[in-house]
Structure 1
Amino acid sequence: MVSEPSPDDSWLPSLTLPQLLLATYTALTVIALVYAASTSSAAFGAYNSQWDGAGELRTVAADAGANVTVGTNVSQYPTSDADGTVAVVLSPAEPYSSSERARIAEFVRSGGTLVVAEDYRPEGNSLLAAVGADARFDGRPVYDNRNYYRNSSLPEATPAGDYPETAGVDTVVLNYGTTVRAGNATPLVNTSEYAYLDTNGNANLDGAEQLASRPVVTSELVGDGRVIAVSDPSLFVNAMLERGDNRRFVRNLVADHDTALLDYSHASSIPPVAAAVLAVQRSDALLLFCGVVLVGALLAYDRRLDEPIRDRFREYSGREPDPHLSRDGVEKYLSGRHPDWESAQVKRVTEAVIKQRPDRQRND
């Protein structure tokens, strides 16, 4: 009965305990660095999975049937056939240049839908004015001492009528948001009549502050497109999507659009790994270059598997001796196949195999 060769791990690298610990530490460090380079901790960040990030927004948009694009440049706004695209801007940290504002205005006039979510920064109102919208964010925090989620700084708002954006929505919950001065825009969601704007910042109803129902979401036509103003960007973050019917409301905003463009061109920076992937996706030349590099690397790696390494794999595969095996390889193979053989017998057979090679090669 012929026995199978016993496993032999002598070809594996032998590591001491300190070396093994160092290798483990290095592997964990590399994993941590890759993770850090592919995620973000910035508020409203598209790659932030924490409570204040908007990583879940991409999932909501995709579930609504839209092709989701994380925009890092205003040039990604289409200026023709834009009626199938909705662009979402969450509290931009930097102002848009005049040429960028013109690009976005052309996008709206060409039929695109622009959703601007802002509370206290001035860039939201500047963008609304640039695209020709009439709505403006008030900028003062809104409180409601009667209709709220956990406290008065998280007021509950309700639909102002039957609109596609509020279909299936009973309550929208804000988180330290403000209100919208609608102007000629149509209110879609309003606070209750017990809400007030905190003018002096003491979180109490006093002085000239008045209770009234005020818009927190408005919609208006601009050219062939629409502009929707949402007075609380945190409504789109991961934690707040689970409050009230916020998830359903956000889904409605992107529904019936082929593309959802999440505009992060003037927001927090995109993680390096994500930015690199987005750059490759936008550039056919970069995509081709990366493909060529990958194929070249695979070919180079394959060539580095020189004959001694290939012999090692053959030695432990259990097949008949390969004609290219080294003398040591033949001896190891025979010892594994015939453990009952004496060392001298193994050497004699090895010599016979080696001597037969020239004859076989001539016959071939």
Structure 2
Amino acid sequence: MALTPLSEDSWLPSLTLPQLLLAAYTVLTIIALVYAASTSSAAFGAYNSQWDGAGELRTVAADAGANVTVGTNVSQYPTSDTDTTVAVVLSPAEPYSSSERARIAEFVRSGGTLVVAEDYRPEGNALLAAVGADARFDGRPVYDNRNYYRNSSLPEATPAGDYPETAGVDTVVLNYGTTVRAGNATTLVNTSEYAYLDTNGNGELDGEEQLASRPVVTSEPVGDGRVIAVSDPSIFVNAMLERGDNRRFVRNLVASHGDALLDYSHASSVPPVAAAVLAVQRSDALLLLCGVVLVGALLAYDRRLDEHLRDRLREYSGGDPDPNLSRDGVEKYLRASHPDWETAQVERVTEAIIKQRAERQRND
């Protein structure tokens, strides 16, 4: 059974119930596909809103007053005015090439701040070495049987002194993190004296494993810039930002910088829709192309709208009004022919007729 149009003037087509159900299913499918293409489930992902994603990191950086950029290419590291930029690298999954390492090293030497957060992957230490930092990630999990959040694998660390990065911070909570071998770097945050490195992986203090306070965040100057090593990228994920004073600590890392570059060039892939938006933002040519396509679509829609109005007019009147009538004459003609029309509808159809007349004159 066909559905009756909402009104005599409705533009909605008459649909059968199966057609209406199919249309609703199609719309829901499109919405689901767009959502899937614009979000990510990857750990530490900038577009992952789940507990293990870092979608909230962008909000924290923006709230700190920074202009946030999700970087998908090392070429986005600035080459000038670098002292206003902090770049954050969360557990890169792939190694940086020699040219990429050189670009990041130049960024740091010329005044930029680089934050590298890593626990067990080797790429973090490779990047620290490439930029000339002395700190290295230990790579063994750290436990604390006395000072922890819920269990010993979530140890609570405390500031090692009064530093801008630890202002207002009492505890930083790790989640299966490691420690930093500081070398000549300054320790900003360290574990309690009851922490130990689990060398044999059994989660217990035994053998030659020793209790000691160890660095988990360090800072050191490199050239005119600075490198901060954080021994647990989980500190930056959505769920862990709410543990201890992690959110305040992460905010402090960004607070003194006007720009924050979240380097995802060697991390999990960025969702297709987000990648497309980022590509357009970086390219003036793509931005111009999108503008041209949008304007073309609007013009095409406007033309189809005109054709629809003309068809509607013919449907009601059986033909067009006298082409010699003025605008007021067209309106009077329409009101006389269709006394049931609303004023807005009369004006809309009048405008379509006048516009059609102008187009015909130009074509002639």
TM-score for the superposition, normalised by structure 1: 0.85
What is the Cα deviation at residue 219 of structure 1? Answer: 0.1
Structure 1 residues 135 and 12: CA distance shift in structure 2, 3 A: same
Partner of 1:174: 174
CA distance in 1 between counterparts of 2:144 and 2:322 reads: 86
CA distance in 2 between counterparts of 1:219 and 1:118 reads: 14
**Are residues 1:288 and 2:288 paired?**
yes
CA distance in 2 between counterparts of 1:162 and 1:315 reads: 80
Partner of 1:222: 222
Aligned 8 A contact 1:164 1:252 in 2? yes
What is the Cα deviation at residue 223 of structure 1? Answer: 0.2
Q: How does 1:260-299 map to 2 (within 5 A)?
A: 260-299=260-299
Aligned 8 A contact 1:145 1:194 in 2? yes
CA distance in 1 between counterparts of 2:322 and 2:170 reads: 78
CA distance in 2 between counterparts of 1:255 and 1:130 reads: 26
Question: Any stretches of 5+ residues in structure 2 without a counterpart?
Answer: 1-5, 324-329, 342-364
Aligned 8 A contact 1:314 1:322 in 2? no
CA distance in 1 between counterparts of 2:314 and 2:122 reads: 70
What is the Cα deviation at residue 257 of structure 1? Answer: 0.4
Structure 1 residues 330 and 61: CA distance shift in structure 2, 3 A: same
CA distance in 2 between counterparts of 1:305 and 1:174 reads: 60
Question: Any stretches of 5+ residues in structure 1 without a counterpart?
Answer: 1-5, 338-364
Partner of 2:146: 146
Partner of 2:201: 201
Amino acid paired to 1:183 = G
Q: How does 1:115-154 map to 2 (within 5 A)?
A: 115-154=115-154
Amino acid paired to 2:293 = V
Secondary structure of residue in 1 paired with 2:189: strand
Partner of 1:114: 114
CA distance in 2 between counterparts of 1:71 and 1:148 reads: 34
Partner of 1:164: 164
* Larger RCO (CA under 8 A, 6+ residues apart): 1
CA distance in 2 between counterparts of 1:69 and 1:189 reads: 27
CA distance in 2 between counterparts of 1:92 and 1:266 reads: 5
Structure 1 residues 298 and 105: CA distance shift in structure 2, 3 A: same
CA RMSD of aligned residues (A): 2.1
Secondary structure of residue in 1 paired with 2:115: strand
Q: How does 1:174-193 map to 2 (within 5 A)?
A: 174-193=174-193
What is the Cα deviation at residue 27 of structure 1? Answer: 0.2
Secondary structure of residue in 1 paired with 2:338: helix
> Paired residues, what number?
324
TM-score for the superposition, normalised by structure 2: 0.85
CA distance in 1 between counterparts of 2:163 and 2:308 reads: 72
Partner of 2:338: 333
Partner of 1:37: 37
Partner of 1:346: none
Q: Deviations over 1:157-207 (max 9, x none)?
A: 000000000000000000000000000000000000000000000000000
Amino acid paired to 2:338 = Y
Secondary structure of residue in 2 paired with 1:220: strand
CA distance in 2 between counterparts of 1:36 and 1:309 reads: 38
Secondary structure of residue in 1 paired with 2:53: coil
Amino acid paired to 1:279 = A
CA distance in 2 between counterparts of 1:10 and 1:127 reads: 64
Amino acid paired to 2:65 = G
Q: Deviations over 1:267-320 (max 9, x none)?
A: 00000110010001001111111111111111111112244434638999xxxx
Amino acid paired to 2:198 = D
